[in-house]
């Protein structure tokens, strides 16, 4: 008589037991009995749970009795049930995981390999729907991943056994990363370090693996694990680990980039692989290439967050900064990158390291002598070198923000943000900065550091094949830096301003007066007015040095190249005001000679640019006379032979304004801008309080740069009224005909007014209406005649409607019938 236990397992237990061979030399289940078991499980899916429980209990007993043959056969039975009954896998998945864990505890490499093979089959068919729902199953599954991760990091005396264990563990982890089940943060904390451990072999190199993977797309390791004894190389394991890493950042399974990246920082910290090790930088660039473009920005956000939580400037922070700079300067795009947020973080870090700023050149690189001199100190543990390297990478990161353009105003926003940080009063609510990067007004050292960052952005934009045009008014809030008490700040600021004005975009405007008449917005006009006021006070600073006057001349030249006639019409009254002050005020001889020499050099550049040989001759005579009287500056275009400083004399020979204006009144460029009374306006006295209000009344001026577009239209804008708003027409309309007549008359009068007044604004995009003003006038006149003729046919007293809708015609037709 059977016992109660036998009766409990009577049906499925008998079928399962019959699968085991009686011959000890057979290592696989009986095929006929196994087929019967599969048929039984498929026909009765509810019995899968009982089959799983029975197999779990039997394997537990076999592990305790060390029955290696029966354990191997049991794993084959489990693999067959998973393949054939995968629709009901969730009914015995808990038992499968427990069986694999029990087999791994045998520490037999052959059984471990078979268990890993079973786990690969399980991952290929399990959809992960019970993960996170069944707590017991979830815990066992995560424990199983931890066990395989330990195998992937196995260390031992026997290298062959060690490589085989690592291969087994990596194959199992590959199954996890390629399965349809999503992995949790806990799982990644075990998987990521195991993968990275197999990528750190210096003899292989992560760059070589990445290159080989990109060249050979068929090199993906086989997911089927062979349990035969064979030699496994470190390179094969490294390739397998690299494939697992790629799968972690697969777009189809990527949930949280942070979950996958945070264990990387833990691994680098645990194995002390921060600076000067380069593994972390190479790893991050590899991950960046694996991520889809729309998710790459999250990698920057994770690194930025890690930077903010690293308080001291340690090798860890140096590596993180280098990671960030490598990402921002890489050729890969970062769609969705929070530009200003990253910039703000970088600026804060730069200001903390400003003490090391003296060792960084204008291009953001370590000075050559520092590289050689302090290399020995690095080996001795000097922290200064670490800070200098970190600062270099921070500057490189800031320049990298201008590498890829993701929206139209990106460069403008970057420059504007840095200019805001340079504000004289950071604490003011109007500064527009919620959390200023400096506690109080920036110190001269902080301003120098911020100006270096600004210079890097401008340089980076100029070096691009297609530089982005930035409006000049973005520098308007920073013009007061010309008056900074620290000459180093003034020198740094004027250098950046000149570099910006001398951009590649403005160089393209040198040869064409038509291009230089490109549209000037109201903000640009305001900037031109404000910069001249700032330059006036800059030129008369009490502590001005030779470098200030050289910078003043460079700024005026850059403005002339960029705005040509628009600048010249402002520069003439401005410069003669400076000349007057230099002659009348108590200005020492050095500053007086510098101002006089700079003004003369400016007009020589004007004569060269606009091809005025008579003006060039006149200025040459003035220069020769001043040189003969030793009235020339030794800093601005020093004379040859050099004049002894003790022989220099105050300037008493000044430029004749009427002579200068006489040579400029015939310039076509100035005539198109100012219009009539050019001579009178160039002779107008300029004051810093009044600006250019007495020279010309500013209006919205929009000029066309392209006259060949046949699809554009003609539009005429009204002039500004005194309040700064466009004039509006207010007419009472009595009837439709009077309204049209009134509008046509208004248009005609406005058109006549705008044509006669050179202060008006005309968009002459005439190609679409005939190509010339005369044809436009003819067409408009013809259209007006046709409208007038049509309106004259209408009798206001008549009951006839201009608009005769169909429903009225239908009603009339019905009434007639």
d(C-alpha 388, C-alpha 482), whole Å:
29
- Between 149-153, 363-367, 765-769, the lowest mean confidence (pLDDT) is in 765-769
Q: Is 225 left (phi over 0), alpha (psi -120 to 50) or beta?
A: beta
Residue 459 or 808, more confident: 459
- List, for residues 700-747, the tens digit of each pLDDT value: 333 333 333 333 333 323 333 333 333 333 434 344 444 444 444 444
Query: How does residue 687 score in pLDDT terms, banded at 50, 70 and 90?
Result: confident
Task: Choose between 372 and 672: higher pLDDT.
Answer: 672
363 against 559, higher pLDDT: 559
Residue % of the chain over a pLDDT of 70: 72
pLDDT tens profile 126-174: 988 888 889 999 999 999 999 999 999 998 878 889 999 999 999 999 9
Q: What is the DSSP string of 111-147?
A: HHHHHHHHHHHHHHH---TTTTTSHHHHHHHHHHHHH
Distance from C-alpha of 123 to C-alpha of 672, rounded to nearest angstrom:
78
Longest dimension (CA), the chain: 136
pLDDT by residue (tens digit) across 253-306? 666 788 889 999 999 999 999 988 889 999 999 999 999 888 899 999 999 999
CA distances from 528 to 235, 374, 516, 562 (A): 65, 46, 15, 11
Mean pLDDT highest for which of 446-450, 709-713, 812-816?
Answer: 446-450
The answer to whether 287 and 196 have CB atoms below 8 angstroms apart is no
Question: Quick one: pLDDT band at residue 755, thresholds 50, 70, 90?
Answer: very low
Mean pLDDT of all residues in 359-380: 45
pLDDT score, position 280: 93
Helix (H, G, I), strand (E, B) or coil at 264: helix
Q: How confident is the model at residue 210 (pLDDT cuts 50, 70, 90)?
A: confident
pLDDT in tens, 94-108: 999 999 999 999 889
Task: State the DSSP string of 155-216.
Answer: --S-HHHHHHHHHHHHHHHHHHHHSSSPPPHHHHHHHHHHHHHTT--TTT-HHHHHHHHHH-
In this predicted structure, what is the pLDDT of residue 743? Answer: 46
Residue 12 has pLDDT above 90, yes or no: no
Contact 288, 328 (CB under 8 A): no
Question: Could you tell me if 707 and 767 are in contact, meaning their C-beta atoms sit under 8 angstroms apart?
Answer: yes
Q: Name 511's Cβ contacts closer than 8 Å, sequence gap at least 6.
A: none
Residues 6+ apart with CB under 8 A from 608: 616
pTM comes to: 0.74
pLDDT of residue 725: 36
User: pLDDT band at 760, cuts 50/70/90?
Assistant: very low
Spell out the residues 6+ positions from residue 75 whose beta carbon is closer than 8 angstroms to its own: 99, 103, 111, 114, 115, 117, 118
Band of residue 791 on the pLDDT scale cut at 50, 70, 90: low
- How confident is the model at residue 4, as a pLDDT? 45
pLDDT, averaged across the chain:
78
Structure tokens at 581: 């002050």
Q: Is there a contact between 337 and 300 (Cβ–Cβ < 8 Å)? A: yes
Band the pLDDT of 217: cuts 50, 70, 90: low
* Residue 691 per-residue DSSP state: B
CB atoms under 10 Å from CB of 812, counted, come to 11
Q: What is the mean pLDDT of residues 340-368?
A: 70
Rounded CA gap, 609 and 669, in Å?
12
Least-confidence region, from 38-52, 124-138, 139-153, 437-451: 437-451
Task: With cut-offs at 50, 70 and 90, classify the pLDDT of residue 651.
Answer: confident
pLDDT value at 542 more than 60: yes
pLDDT interval class at 388 (50, 70, 90): confident
User: Is pLDDT at 357 greater than 70 in this prediction?
Assistant: no
Tell me phi and psi for residue 701, to 5 degrees.
Answer: -120, 120
Q: Cα-atom radius of gyration of the chain, to the nearest Å?
A: 41
Least confident of 137-146, 192-201, 220-229: 220-229
Instruction: Say what percent of the chain tops pLDDT 90.
Output: 39
Q: Coil, strand or helix: which one is 466?
A: coil
Adjacent-strand bridge partners of 717: 761
Instruction: Report the pLDDT averaged over residues 212-226.
Output: 57
* CA–CA gap between residue 686 and residue 695 (Å, rounded): 8
Mean pLDDT across 623-631: 89
Q: Over range 194-209, report the average pLDDT.
A: 89
The DSSP symbol for 643 reads P
Task: Say if residues 462 and 407 touch (Cβ distance below 8 Å).
Answer: no
Question: Can you tell me the distance from the alpha carbon of 370 to that of 380, in angstroms, rounded to the nearest whole number?
Answer: 15
SS3 letters across 608-621 = HHCCCHHHHHHHHH
Exposed/middle/buried for residue 268 (C-beta within 10 Å: 0-12, 13-18, 19+): buried
Q: How many residues does the chain have?
A: 817
Q: Is the dihedral of CA 690, 695, 697, 701 positive or negative?
A: negative
Which pLDDT does position 767 carry in this prediction?
A: 38
């Amino acid at each position: 008589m059977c016992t109660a236990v036998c009766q409990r397992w009577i049906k499925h237990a008998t079928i399962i037991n019959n699968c085991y061979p009686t011959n000890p030399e057979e290592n696989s289940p009986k095929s006929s009995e196994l087929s019967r078991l599969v048929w039984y499980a498929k026909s009765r899916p509810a019995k899968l749970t009982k089959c799983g429980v029975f197999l779990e209990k039997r394997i537990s007993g076999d592990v305790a009795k060390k029955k290696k043959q029966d354990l191997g056969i049991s794993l084959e039975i489990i693999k067959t049930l998973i393949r054939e009954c995968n629709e009901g896998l969730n009914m015995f998945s808990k038992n499968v995981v427990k069986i694999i864990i029990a087999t791994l505890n045998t520490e037999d490499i052959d059984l471990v390999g078979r268990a890993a093979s079973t786990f690969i089959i399980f991952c290929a068919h399990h959809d992960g729907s019970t993960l996170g729902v069944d707590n017991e199953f979830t815990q066992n599954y995560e424990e199983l991943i931890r066990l395989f991760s330990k195998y992937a990091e196995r260390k031992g005396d026997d290298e062959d056994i060690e490589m085989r264990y690592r291969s087994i563990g990596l194959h199992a982890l590959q199954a996890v990363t390629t399965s349809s089940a999503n992995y949790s943060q806990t799982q990644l904390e075990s998987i990521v370090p195991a993968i990275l451990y197999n990528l750190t072999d210096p003899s292989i190199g992560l760059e070589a693996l990445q290159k080989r993977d990109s060249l050979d797309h068929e090199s993906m390791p086989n997911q089927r694990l062979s349990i035969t004894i064979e030699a496994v190389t470190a390179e094969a394991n490294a390739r397998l680990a690299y494939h697992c890493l790629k799968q972690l950042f697969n777009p189809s399974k990527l949930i949280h980039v942070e979950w996958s990246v945070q264990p990387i920082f833990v691994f680098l910290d645990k194995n002390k692989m921060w600076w000067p090790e380069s593994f972390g930088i190479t790893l991050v660039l590899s991950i960046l290439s694996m991520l889809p473009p729309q998710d790459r920005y999250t990698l920057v956000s994770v690194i930025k967050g890690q930077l903010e939580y690293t308080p001291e400037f340690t090798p860890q922070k140096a590596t993180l900064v280098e990671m960030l700079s490598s990402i921002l300067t890489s050729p890969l795009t970062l769609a969705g990158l929070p530009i200003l947020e990253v910039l703000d973080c970088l600026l804060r870090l730069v200001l903390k390291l400003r003490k090391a700023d003296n060792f960084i050149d204008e291009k953001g690189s370590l000075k050559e002598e520092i590289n050689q001199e302090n290399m020995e100190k690095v080996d001795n543990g000097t922290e200064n070198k670490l800070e200098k390297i970190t600062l270099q990478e921070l500057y490189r990161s800031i320049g990298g923000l201008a590498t890829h353009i993701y929206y139209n105003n990106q460069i403008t926003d970057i420059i504007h943000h840095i200019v805001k940080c340079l504000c004289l009063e950071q604490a003011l609510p109007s500064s527009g900065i919620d959390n200023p990067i400096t506690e109080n007004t920036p110190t001269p050292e902080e301003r120098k550091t911020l100006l270096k960052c600004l210079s890097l952005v401008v340089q980076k934009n100029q070096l691009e094949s297609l530089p982005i045009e930035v409006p000049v008014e973005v520098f308007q809030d920073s013009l007061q830096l010309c008056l900074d008490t620290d000459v180093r700040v003034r020198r740094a600021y004027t250098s950046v301003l000149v570099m910006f004005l001398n951009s590649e975009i403005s160089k393209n405007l040198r040869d064409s007066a038509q291009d230089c008449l490109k549209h000037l917005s109201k903000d640009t006009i305001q900037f031109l007015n404000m910069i001249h006021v700032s330059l006036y006070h800059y030129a008369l600073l009490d502590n001005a040095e030779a470098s200030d006057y050289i910078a003043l001349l460079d700024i005026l030249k850059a403005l002339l190249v960029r705005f040509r006639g628009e600048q010249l019409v402002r520069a003439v009254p401005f410069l003669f005001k400076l000349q007057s002050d230099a002659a009348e005020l108590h200005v020492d001889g050095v500053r007086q000679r510098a101002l006089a020499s700079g003004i003369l050099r400016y007009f020589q550049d004007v004569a060269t640019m606009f091809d005025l040989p008579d003006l060039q001759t006149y200025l040459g005579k003035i220069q020769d006379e001043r040189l003969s009287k030793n009235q020339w500056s030794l800093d601005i275009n020093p004379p040859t032979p050099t004049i002894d400083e003790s022989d220099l004399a105050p300037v008493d020979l000044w430029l004749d304004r009427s002579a200068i204006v006489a040579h400029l009144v015939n310039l076509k460029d100035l005539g198109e801008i100012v219009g009539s009374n050019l001579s009178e306006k160039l002779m107008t006295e300029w004051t810093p309080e009044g600006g250019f209000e007495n020279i010309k009344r500013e209006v919205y001026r929009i000029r066309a740069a392209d006259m060949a577009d046949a699809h554009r239209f003609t539009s005429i804008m009204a002039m500004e009224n005194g309040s700064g708003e466009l004039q509006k027409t207010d007419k009472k309309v009595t009837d439709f005909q009077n309204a049209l007549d009134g509008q046509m008359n208004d248009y005609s009068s406005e058109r006549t007014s705008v044509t006669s007044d050179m202060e008006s604004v005309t968009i002459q995009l005439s190609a679409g209406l005939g190509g010339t003003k005369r044809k436009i006038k003819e067409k408009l006149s013809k259209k007006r005649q046709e409208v007038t003729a049509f309106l004259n046919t209408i009798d206001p007293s008549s009951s006839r409607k201009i608009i005769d809708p169909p429903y009225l015609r239908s009603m009339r037709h019905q009434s007639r019938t």
